[in-house]
């Protein structure tokens, strides 16, 4: 599966291939589909050079997934978990992190599906001076009766953030043929794989997949 990394505030394919950027170093793509927001808890601090899987995770942000071993569940409900308290993680953050997976089709690589994983800072928050995190962007498009799949989205970094934080902005509408191609892959196997939260097993770590999701409902596709 193709994955787009935002590590070190740089867009890069996980294969190491440099991606094509706009003149302002932003990234242009169509958001084809999206998974519900999920969350995961890791016992160790984040290390970009070390592969790891979470101890506990939730596919719906409400309760631990049924795939979490009974002795690894940190609480019966996420809202009651000590790792859900602000300050339990780095700085004022929560130790159990929110994230969301998007399936995107990059402009210039038409037909190719990439997974883009958003951290909490790229999901939540209010729009400021036209800079919109994902939820604010979804509300903006809904207010203008515009399906997210019907526009090219400019994806760019918050230059004032020390950690990777993305903003989203519409640039132009898709042409008829572009929209036909984008709509045809909403539920393709590559798209579903991109939005499915799954951990690949490797030495010393057991596989702990999130429950697969079918992505948008028909009504969801018109707003995000």
56 assigned to some structural domain: no
26 assigned to some structural domain: yes
Greatest Cα pair distance in the chain? 52
Number of domains comprising the chain: 1
**pLDDT level of residue 198 (50, 70, 90 thresholds):** low
33 assigned to some structural domain: yes
Residue 162 pLDDT > 60, yes or no?
A: yes
Highest mean predicted confidence (pLDDT) among 15-29, 165-179, 207-221: 165-179
Q: In the predicted model, what is the mean pLDDT of the chain?
A: 85
Q: What is the mean pLDDT of residues 138-155?
A: 97
**pLDDT level of residue 180 (50, 70, 90 thresholds):** very high
**pLDDT level of residue 110 (50, 70, 90 thresholds):** confident
Tell me what pLDDT residue 206 has. Answer: 34
- Distance of alpha carbon 215 from alpha carbon 217, whole angstroms: 7
44 assigned to some structural domain: no
Number of helices and strands in the chain (H, E)? 4, 9
Tell me what pLDDT residue 211 has. Answer: 33
More confident residue, 172 or 110: 172
165 assigned to some structural domain: yes
Residue 197: give the domain boundaries.
2-37+100-222
DSSP state of 219: T
Q: For residue 191, what are the CA distances in angstroms to 15, 132, 157, 179, 197? A: 18, 24, 24, 16, 12
191 assigned to some structural domain: yes
210 assigned to some structural domain: yes
In this prediction the pTM is 0.81
User: Tell me: the pLDDT tens digits for 20-64?
Assistant: 898 899 999 999 999 999 999 998 775 545 557 889 999 899 999
206 assigned to some structural domain: yes
């Amino acid at each position: 599966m193709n994955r787009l990394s935002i590590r070190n505030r740089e867009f890069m394919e996980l294969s190491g291939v440099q991606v094509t950027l706009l003149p302002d170093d932003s990234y242009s793509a169509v958001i084809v589909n999206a998974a519900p927001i999920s969350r995961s808890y890791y016992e160790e601090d984040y290390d970009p050079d070390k592969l790891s899987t979470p101890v506990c995770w939730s596919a719906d942000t409400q309760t631990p997934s049924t795939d979490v071993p009974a002795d690894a569940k940190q609480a019966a409900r996420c809202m009651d978990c000590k790792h859900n308290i602000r300050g339990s993680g780095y700085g004022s953050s929560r130790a159990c992190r929110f994230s969301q997976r998007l399936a995107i089709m990059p402009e210039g690589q038409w037909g190719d599906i990439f997974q883009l994983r958003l951290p909490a800072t790229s999901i939540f928050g209010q729009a400021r001076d036209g800079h919109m995190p994902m939820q604010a962007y979804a509300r903006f498009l809904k207010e203008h009766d515009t399906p997210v799949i019907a526009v090219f989205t400019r994806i760019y970094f918050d230059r004032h953030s020390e950690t990777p934080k993305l903003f989203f902005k519409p640039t132009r509408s898709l042409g008829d043929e572009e929209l036909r191609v984008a709509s045809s892959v909403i539920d393709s196997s590559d798209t579903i794989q991109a939005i499915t939260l799954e951990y690949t097993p490797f030495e010393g770590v057991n596989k702990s997949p999130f429950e697969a999701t079918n992505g948008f409902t028909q009504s969801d596709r018109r707003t995000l």
